[in-house]
Amino acid sequence: MTTYFQDRYPDNYAHCYGCGRLNQNGWRISSSWDPEHPDQAFAVVKPPAELTGGWAGNLWGGVVAAVLDCHSAGTAAASKARELGLSDQDESPRCVTASLAVDYLKPTPVGVPLRLIAQASSIDGRKIWVDARLEAEGEVCATSRALMIQVV
């Protein structure tokens, strides 16, 4: 059974619309380590088709940023948990976004599964830098660099 990073968040930090397991109306993005690339985290999401952007058939850029943000926060928390020697059953640290830069490389289609891939590039105390990308139908549509801060 896969243990998702977001399942390990403390209850009082598990209400995010994008990834909170306790938000009944949210997307519940679920991130885990990629068995083929152990330092990379992945998730697959399929935002509702009504979240289109400026033109029909393409995802709103705010949603692109939101899913990259949530997946990056999960990756930061899991990476910090690894650094601390915590097991996959332990409650993990929780991280929040200090900075998020998104590069939109091409329109992201709606109605298809989106693959999120992320990796912590650096950890310095409570600061975790995460590089991520969003792929649709095998094409990279957006990349991001986030600075996450461990809060618990």
pLDDT tens-digit readout, 101-115: 999 999 999 999 999
| Strand ranges (E), 55-126 | 95-104, 114-124
Instruction: Supply the pLDDT for residue 106.
Output: 97
- For residue 83, the model assigns a pLDDT of 96
* Residue 9 region by backbone torsions, left for phi larger than 0, else alpha for psi between -120 and 50, else beta: beta
- In this predicted model, what pLDDT tens digit does every residue of 132-148 receive, in sequence order? 999 999 999 999 999 99
Tally of domains in the chain: 1
For residue 80, what pLDDT is reported?
A: 97
Would you say residue 70 has pLDDT above 90? Answer: yes
CATH number, domain containing residue 129: 3.10.129.10
Cα 67 from Cα 43, distance rounded (Å): 10
**Structural domain of 68:** 5-150
pTM of the model: 0.95
- Secondary structure (3-state) at 79: helix
